[in-house]
Amino acid sequence: MSARIGVVTFPGSLDDRDAQRAIRLAGAEPVALWHGDHDLQGADAVVLPGGFSYGDYLRCGAIAAQAPIMHEIVEAANAGMPVLGICNGFQILVEAHLLPGGLIRNSQGSFVCRDQTLRVENATTAWTHGFSAGDEITVPLKNGEGGFIADAETLARLEGEGLVAFRYVGVNPNGSLNDIAGLTNERGNVVGLMPHPEHATEPGFGPDTPSAMRSGVDGLTFFRSVIERTLAAA
Amino acid sequence: MIVVEVMPKAELLDPAGKAVATALAKRGDGEFTAVRIGKRFELHVDEVTDAVLAKAQHLADELLSNAVIEDVVRVYVADAVAEDALA
Domain ranges of chain B: 2-86
Instruction: From chain B, pick out residues whose CB is under 8 angstroms from the CB of A149.
Output: 12, 68-69
Name the pLDDT band for A233 (thresholds 50, 70, 90).
Answer: low
Q: What is the pLDDT of residues A35-64, one digit of tens each?
A: 999 999 999 999 999 999 999 999 999 999
Say what the pLDDT of residue B84 is: 55
For the cut 80, the answer to whether the pLDDT of residue A90 exceeds it is: yes
Chain-centroid distance, C-alpha A219: 10
Q: What b/e sequence results for A14-28 when a residue is b if at least 16 CB atoms lie within 10 Å of its CB, and e otherwise?
A: bbbebbbbbbebbeb
Q: Would you state the pLDDT for residue A93? A: 98
- A116, A195 Cβ separation under 8 angstroms: yes
Q: What is the pLDDT of residue A2?
A: 86
Assess contact for A187 and A145: CB atoms under 8 A. no
pLDDT score for B16: 85
Give percent of chain A above pLDDT 90.
93
Mean pLDDT over A86-94 rounds to 98
E strand spans, A10-146:
29-34, 45-48, 83-86, 102-104, 112-120, 136-143
Query: Looking at residue A143, what DSSP letter applies?
Result: E
Cβ atoms of A45 and A230 closer than 8 Å:
yes
Tell me the pLDDT of chain A averaged across its residues: 95
Predicted confidence band of residue A1 (pLDDT cuts 50, 70, 90)? low
Helix (H, G, I), strand (E, B) or coil at A155: helix
pLDDT at B66: 95
Find, among A106, A100, A103, the residue nearest to A61 by Cα: A103
Q: What is the CATH number of the domain that holds A57?
A: 3.40.50.880
The topology under which CATH files domain B2-86 is Mth169; Chain: A , (3.30.1280)
Among A102, A105, A175, select the one facing B66 at the smallest CB separation: A102
Q: Is A93 on the interface with B (CB under 8 A)?
A: no
The domain of A92 spans 4-233
- This complex has an ipTM of 0.83
Closest chain B residue to A101 measured between Cα atoms?
B68
This prediction has a pTM of 0.93
pLDDT of residue B71: 96
- Has A60 been annotated as catalytic? no
Q: Average pLDDT, stretch A137-142?
A: 97
Interface contact flag, A59 B69, Cβ < 8 Å: yes
**pLDDT tens-digit series, residues B32-87:** 999 999 999 999 999 999 999 999 999 999 999 999 999 999 999 998 765 555 55
Q: Is A87 among the residues known to form the active site?
A: yes
Q: Cβ contacts (< 8 Å) between A102 and chain B: which residues?
A: 66, 68-69
The whole-number average pLDDT for the span A212-233 is: 89
Domain count, chain A: 1
Positive or negative torsion for Cα B31, B37, B43, B44: positive
Which member of A95, A105, A109 has the closest CB to residue B66?
Answer: A95
Model pLDDT, residue B15: 81
Q: Touching check for A159 and chain B: CB below 8 Å?
A: no
CA A97, A118, A52, B70 dihedral sign is positive
**B86 or A90, higher pLDDT:** A90
Stretch (H or E) spanning A8:
strand A4-9
pLDDT at B85: 54
Is A113 noted as a catalytic residue in this protein? no
Q: Does A62 touch chain B (CB under 8 A)?
A: yes
